[in-house]
Amino acid sequence: MASLITCPHCGTRPKEEFSIRGAAAPRRPSPAARDEVWHRYVYVRDNPKGRYEEYWHHAAGCRRWLVVDRDNLTHEVFGVTDATDHLTAEAGE
């Protein structure tokens, strides 16, 4: 059975319609940030095992950016949020 992702806009779709773009946690530094900060942002990333949030692009569907909360060992998906809604919710915390 194929892995399925529930897009908040298109419903449940096969994972092959999506592209994984990486962890949703890193925040882009300001343009005026020091070179060391930019180096860390671009090249130094954690590679966690287990549950975490990733950016996914629904390339073969609505073309929206999503934040998928999943376990990268078991591939279990705990939730999917539109990236815009995710950033709005984070800003309100």
The three-state secondary structure class of 14 is: strand
Give the model confidence (pLDDT) of 20-58 as tens digits.
988 888 888 999 999 999 999 989 988 889 999 999 999
Could you give all domains of the chain from N- to C-terminal order, each with its CATH number? Answer: 4-25+36-92 (3.30.2270.10)
- Which among 14, 10, 5 is positioned nearest to 67, based on CA atoms? 5
The three-state secondary structure class of 45 is: coil
pTM for this prediction: 0.81
- Which among 17, 20, 9 is positioned nearest to 75, based on CA atoms? 20
Give the C-alpha separation, 56 to 46, whole Å. 18
